[in-house]
Copies of this chain bind each other. A is one copy, B any other.
């Protein structure tokens, strides 16, 4: 089959890690008789430099015309990047937010998985890690505080800024369904996270989740307050299967969860709408400090490409081949610098490799 893949290389390490993902996809194409036709899409800082805005209408049109979009990362160091002084709606992140909204990518899947080979990188105590953990965060991505009305104005000489958190029942229902659907393919447990003891939007969230849950009698579900969830992720991450939550809470908790696994350079993500289309990107950022050095870990991007094969193209076997190849190189002891053993751990059988070499190794094993 032929697939049109939009490619957002972006800023920082983005171009380097995307190159490796394409390398692996090309190997899949060869081996399984597919063809991936890439079209570059400008977004983020590089788009600002070229066009003055972080995402042009033309770029959105190209994304819409693709079967799926693979992304590296966007943005620069908040304090030093040349885009930091621009108005917020002109900054790199604004491009990403606009793309999410324009393509209606409301369902953000963020796996938080502990790789056994990398357990020593996990910041938690060995007895908490136990035999590992494997969570999926289902974050609502096109509503809430991110896209509500906002305003900064002076009232009687006092500057006041307001953001609005709004959800309607339909927005909650469609993301809740996605959460329960994915739980059915996993360990059949949903933890819905809100702040229902304070927020109206959370009370509506809770009510709709309870309605949706009725259609999934096999799934065990629970409600958890967001402050408690932030604690439980550190105390006992094993208890979680699917965490279902709104946009801002999902932003905070998914970053916490990925750090708890110690595998942030390894974690992929998918942003989906109601069609087969999806935007696939690593969980980590653009890491401007190591850009251009050839040392960034491409695995999260390569695994994002695997998610693309699975969710947008229904190529389960091919996705699995990539995931197995990643596990294989880890087993063989290959590591980029970010996942090297901690000081004091053994380095026997471990080989440090750069970005391109890691891509080669995975492509070879596909």
Which residues of A are at the interface with B, using a C-beta cutoff of 8 A?
Answer: 78-79, 88, 91, 93, 97, 122-125, 127-128, 145-146, 148, 150-152, 155, 158-170, 195-201, 203-204, 223, 225-228, 230-231, 233-235, 248-249, 251-256, 258-260, 264, 342-344
Contacts and interface: CB of A to CB of B under 8 A. Distances in A.
A41 to B, nearest CB: 21
The 10 closest A-B pairs by CB, nearest first: A161-B204, A231-B259, A230-B256, A160-B168, A227-B255, A150-B200, A161-B200, A161-B201, A163-B165, A162-B166
27 contacts: A78-B223, A88-B197, A91-B197, A97-B198, A122-B125, A123-B124, A127-B344, A145-B199, A148-B162, A150-B200, A151-B200, A152-B203, A158-B169, A158-B170, A160-B204, A161-B201, A162-B166, A162-B200, A162-B201, A164-B165, A165-B165, A195-B251, A227-B252, A227-B254, A231-B255, A231-B259, A234-B234
For this chain, the copies found in one complex come to 2
Contact of A162 (B164, B226, B231): B164
A164 B160 CA distance: 12
Given A124-B125, A145-B198, A201-B162, A225 B78 contact: yes
Contacts of A123: 124-125, 128, 234-235
Given A234-B259, A252-B252, A199 B166 contact: no
A170 B156 CA distance: 12
A204 B342 CA distance: 40
Contacts of A195: 145, 248, 251
